[in-house]
Structure 1
Amino acid sequence: MSYLGYLIAAYAVFVIVLAWDFFATQLQIRRQLRNARLRASREAARISRNELTR
């Protein structure tokens, strides 16, 4: 009785889950950085608009 198939499948699932975790985290970081940049640009535009109206 050989467990080779089970072992290969277990390692394959491990690698797939590990890769998914890495890429999902990278996408989340990218999304949060984009949101922070957009928020900062909106804040800068709001401040410059307020300075022009003074």
Structure 2
Amino acid sequence: MRLGQPGRLAQLEERVERHERSVQRMKGVLSAMGGLLTIFNLAIDYFRR
């Protein structure tokens, strides 16, 4: 019994892995931006008083 297209499957797996890495990277960037925005808002509230 032969595998259908193992090269094509490997390419698809690589694309999925690249996509997962980019999704994780974006989650990290958005988390960092959210943290910075929170600190910025706290600083504004602190200096208003």
TM-score by length of 1: 0.79
Q: CA RMSD in A?
A: 1.8
Q: Percent same amino acid among aligned pairs? A: 6
Equivalenced residue count is 49
Q: Give the aligned partner of residue 3 of structure 1.
A: none
Q: Which runs of 5+ in 1 are unaligned?
A: 1-5
What SS is found at the alignment partner of 1:16? helix
Consecutive unaligned residues in structure 2, runs of 5 or more: none
TM-score of the superposition, structure 2-length normalised?
A: 0.86
Aligned to 1:37: 32
Runs of 4+ in 1 over 4 A off after TM superposition: none
